[in-house]
Amino acid sequence: MMKKNNAVLGRNTWFFDLWASSYDFAPFQFWMKRFHKPVLKELAPAKMKILDLSCGSGELLKEIQVRFPKAELYGVDISAKMLEIARTKLSGRKVILQKMDVHALQYPSNYFDFVFSTEAFHHYYDQQKAVEEMKRVVKERGKVMIVDINFFWSVIHRIFERIEPGCVRIKSKREMRDLFRGVGLREVSQERSFLFSVATVGIK
Ligand SMILES: C[S@@+](CC[C@H](N)C(=O)[O-])C[C@H]1O[C@@H](n2cnc3c(N)ncnc32)[C@H](O)[C@@H]1O
């Protein structure tokens, strides 16, 4: 099991390190913005401590920093190259970027107001553990949100899993909802945020 997890982690690190220098290609980012929209909708103007899991090149954190300059922002990713790019666009005392695996977050429990992951969940080798970690580090009444790809039909998901390097499993809308409820998140709601993505949000 450990060996398999390390293999997935290695494949993802290799794939995203390789992709990092062209990740901000404008037409691709136009598509990625659709995944970021539901997160921006959930944010409130209050001073908040926010964690972006698998922040990639930092595009969403940059947008949050512009809209909510008082927010304390944290971003983690396993790709050092992605983080290098994120560091060029995010600055200031209120941003902390760290190389970290989402399955073993090095943060205390009950630390963040809002924890989210966009377009990355299907790359996680132990999805239950990842959601448990998200729940652990969020405060009581804090929010956990996952926005991930969803192409309606499971047959397409199974094909995509074979094609994309480092892809582990694309969960159906129902599986995602059950996972949130299973780890004890409450008031779980879901929305198809645009054609090929589903946003799931729950409260601790
Ligand atoms: C498609 S990118 C999405 C990046 C960003 N969230 C966005 O919306 O543009 C997926 C990201 O997940 C990261 N990733 C994959 N597995 C991870 C893991 N176990 N822990 C942390 N990050 C991971 C990759 O390095 C990559 O940056």
Least confident of 64-78, 81-95, 173-187: 81-95
What is the number of the ligand 1 atom nearest to the C-alpha of 59? 9
Mutate to test the pocket of ligand 1, among 77, 90, 115 (most ligand atoms within 8 A of CB): 77
Name the residue at shortest CA distance from atom 20 of ligand 1.
Answer: 101
**What domain range includes position 104?**
2-203
**CATH number of the CATH domain containing 51:** 3.40.50.150
Distance CA 60, CA 89 (A): 11
Distance CA 77, CA 98 (A): 7
Mean pLDDT of 81-87: 96
Domain count, the chain: 1
Distance CA 127, CA 133 (A): 10
Percent of residues, the chain, with pLDDT higher than 90: 86
Tell whether the model's pLDDT for residue 145 goes beyond 80: yes
User: How many CA within 13 A on the CB side of residue 128?
Assistant: 5
Distance CA 58, CA 154 (A): 30
- pTM for the whole thing? 0.95
